[in-house]
Chains A and B, each alone.
Chain A
């Protein structure tokens, strides 16, 4: 069985030799270059453009503005939260909004032309930052979680329970605007042929791009081809189809030639969403026995002008199921400001919401004089009390105990500031992690070719998570053939449709479809074999695939011979899957426990993460090698959230001041300590045939609060605002 083994990535060799082609790297003859022009005011209206100078520059083919772009329809697709394509009107709602695009024969000339475009504005009043004073603008989101859930949820009577609770904790927590900053910027090459368009684009969802472009240009879906074999990181910012992709297609149509549009790194800060700033008010009530009596979680998250779409950070969704508690109230509000539209960023809601909840849990444990882990165990949820459903599986207890043992949690002195290494303050903190198991409808095809190779195809994406490899592992297992024969293909809208790669759902969605396709292919091969004289009188149901031979008792014929006799160069079959009854009958989640050790220099306030030990329960680990990498990478993302990442805005102009990857700090190699990850390998059969629960987002949830709790343990200072900085811990 290949599933579970640490098979080396199928795409690994291409990635280490520079052979993997990302969106901007396809060689499209005659391709022009486009560079975006962005607004320099946060609110107002465009009163005119001066483009003559730019148009006269060498190599310039066109300067496209809202005055000559032509009409586009709104962006519309399943799970598409970005509705406005830009270049349609003169309204400015944020600084850095796309207002024009320059097209020229080389990148340098397009860049120069873009810088020569002058835009005249009539500015208006702007609110550029969400802070406490902006909360009066808050309103209830209309499309909470794609309109699938209610923003306000409660059970029991939180008010009364809190009022009567012997021990109470009440605090406000803040998380900043964060940008995904995948290493590969957004890029699109668009090429029209008549009324059809092909795009090579960096996306987490080729089917979403197909639907969105079809809607924007009023085309049937089949007229749009989307190709994206490799994604240079997404983390959520490539989940929607953002305007630059549409603008690339618009520009190509406008000039009648293929156009390449690569978003620059500074432009990445205003082109494809961000994790919105949140202000979260939490209050917990508990009995002196350590049992939670009430939880309240009111979340406010930054939003843009509703003209652009809607997104709210669902910080309190996880609060509804994380612990056993009778009285729970959760609300979500959004606060519109003059900034771009926010979006999903790795564990949207869970990572930001659990920072607040798990910090509050630590505060309560301290108030109760209980060990933080013992406090969580005392409130362990045996079922999802909000959905009133059993968990499909929950190995959290084992995660806690294994990670705690490995970390040495029992040696922790609970008194803040009590653990030192010489003059260095040492802090130990922990937090819980959980993330829902998502699964979506998916289709796949398997093709056997006359050269003896097997192709497995689906219109999903590989964000670096290992999708190619697990697809091949799954097909090889189900067909019973050597994996050396099997290769996976994905990221092409001409393959059977797959879902967006978001919500850690790809593996759980695509593998059952591949299994269905494999079963259909086996049936087709058996039916073909039954026509072969070697299998005369053998019913197809008795014919099996063994190695690469078709067999029945006493008979064995190579597949390729059967195909040759039937005159076929290829045999293929498709299969589909969707979430089943068992999935719907359960609350499906993955779980984990995060333990962090930090070291603080008391003179300089520098905070270094020195050790992280984590144990995760992700159902079946599909590939020990790539799965481990995902878990490690999620923890690194969490370290960035805890200590480094914050997008800063100039309040007067609404301009992002650290819109580059030097001033927006992400973890570098020297920031990342020894990380030890363990897994509880327990297939969750309610989720799907192979029992994988998703591993992409879970590992970042809980890292920031574990570190914040460790900072409290080291210093006695409770830092409720991320990222935690030197000045937060200096005396």
Chain B
């Protein structure tokens, strides 16, 4: 299977282009109009959503603006903050760096798909118990990363958790509580 083209690839391309001698912005041609929106069938939390979206639409914007799943957050739209972390085929991925059309046929899990009915996922319960947030905006991304961390086996020590959670920024500074929550949930899973 080939890796999906991500927006990081596109950003990389344009960054390389920017290094070349460039005419002034005022002379630059306007970006070419993209092809018309096309329908994508996206499998989100086990449910198929058919949405007419632009080729440029990120998975993040597809979720938030077209499917109404706003639990996945946009903090930077450039892969720097981790707020948009979701799972694609059970691996953590930054939804802002993935084009929505490229995840057709793959299983996307968002924060809304983590709980079983009224029963919170153990990681959600641990964040609640440890107050692993304040404003809550980075929280869905933190929890999605934290769930992956346990799967990846990166929860052996507090230092390891801190290192592997460093792609998820929390400006409120709930880091010590986040580490405690992950340690608890990981311990419970091992037990």
Contact = CB atoms under 8 A, between A and B. Distances in A.
Interface of A: 8-9, 11-22, 24-25, 27, 33, 40, 50, 53-54, 57-58, 106-109, 112, 115-116, 118, 120, 180-185, 230-235, 262, 264-265, 463-466, 625-626, 628-630, 632-637, 660-662, 666-672, 674-675
Contact of B70 (A21, A108, A666): A21
Nearest to B27: A118
B157 to A, nearest CB: 12
B56 A108 contact: yes
A265 B77 contact: yes
A472 to B, nearest CB: 16
A263 B40 CA distance: 27
29 contacts: A8-B131, A15-B136, A16-B124, A16-B140, A19-B71, A19-B112, A22-B137, A25-B70, A58-B33, A106-B37, A107-B65, A108-B61, A116-B30, A116-B31, A182-B135, A184-B75, A230-B136, A233-B137, A628-B131, A629-B134, A629-B177, A630-B134, A632-B173, A632-B177, A637-B173, A660-B80, A661-B169, A667-B173, A669-B163
A142 B143 CA distance: 47
A507 to B, nearest CB: 14
A589 B168 CA distance: 35
Interface string B86-124: 000000000000000000000000111011000010001
B171 A181 contact: yes
Interface of B: 25-26, 30-31, 33-34, 36-37, 54, 56-57, 61, 64-65, 68-78, 80-81, 83, 110-112, 114-115, 120, 124-125, 127-129, 131, 133-140, 143, 159, 161-163, 165-179
A118 B133 CA distance: 42
A630 to B, nearest CB: 7
A183 B83 contact: yes
B164 to A, nearest CB: 9
A183 B171 contact: yes
A17 B135 contact: no
Given A633-B174, A636-B175, A669 B168 contact: yes
A16 B142 CA distance: 10
A464 B77 CA distance: 22
Nearest to A676: B176
Contacts of B111: 16-18
B74 A27 contact: no
Contacts of A235: 171
Given A107-B61, A184-B75, A669-B168, A232 B137 contact: yes
Given A660-B78, A661-B75, A633 B115 contact: no
B137 A115 contact: no
A470 to B, nearest CB: 13
B60 to A, nearest CB: 10
B175 A13 contact: no
B135 A669 contact: no
B83 to A, nearest CB: 6
Contact of A635 (B64, B77, B173): B173
Contacts of B36: 58
A661 B54 contact: no
A667 B175 contact: yes
Contact of A625 (B131, B163, B175): B131
A668 B162 CA distance: 8
Contacts of B72: 18
Contacts of B64: 24-25
Contacts of A636: 173, 175
Of B36, B110, B176, most buried by chain A (CB within 10 Å of CB) is: B176
A20 B137 CA distance: 9
Of B61, B68, B140, B171, most buried by chain A (CB within 10 Å of CB) is: B171
Contacts of A25: 64, 70
A633 B134 CA distance: 9
A347 to B, nearest CB: 14
Contact of B76 (A106, A234, A265): A265
B166 A666 contact: no
Contacts of A20: 136
Nearest to A20: B136
A40 B24 CA distance: 11
A185 to B, nearest CB: 7
Contact of A17 (B83, B114, B138, B163): B114
Nearest to A13: B128
A185 B26 contact: no
A624 to B, nearest CB: 10
A184 B76 contact: no
Nearest to A700: B173
Nearest to A22: B137
Nearest to B160: A670
Of A120, A181, A264, A672, most buried by chain B (CB within 10 Å of CB) is: A672
Nearest to A9: B131
Given A16-B139, A183-B171, A464-B172, A54 B30 contact: yes
Contact of A12 (B26, B75, B114, B128): B128
Given A115-B31, A120-B26, A660-B78, A17 B173 contact: no
A18 B140 contact: yes
Nearest to B161: A669
A464 B134 contact: yes
A542 B31 CA distance: 77
Contacts of B128: 8-9, 12-13, 16
A662 B124 contact: no
B31 A106 contact: no
Contacts of B25: 40, 118
Contacts of B140: 16, 18
B33 A183 contact: no
A17 B170 contact: no
B168 to A, nearest CB: 7
Contact of B133 (A15, A115, A185): A15
A391 B166 CA distance: 42
B126 to A, nearest CB: 9
Contact of A182 (B71, B137, B159, B174): B137
Nearest to B143: A16
Contacts of A14: 136
Contacts of A109: 54
Contacts of A625: 131
Nearest to B72: A18
B173 A463 contact: no
A660 to B, nearest CB: 6
Contacts of B70: 18, 21-22, 24-25
A183 B138 contact: yes
A633 B172 contact: yes
A185 B178 CA distance: 22
A511 to B, nearest CB: 19
A364 to B, nearest CB: 31
A214 B169 CA distance: 36
Contacts of A230: 135-137
B146 to A, nearest CB: 11
A725 to B, nearest CB: 20
A628 B172 CA distance: 12
Contact of A465 (B37, B134, B168): B134
Contacts of A182: 135, 137, 171
Contacts of A464: 133-136, 172
B141 to A, nearest CB: 9
Given A17-B111, A265-B77, A632-B173, A184 B137 contact: yes
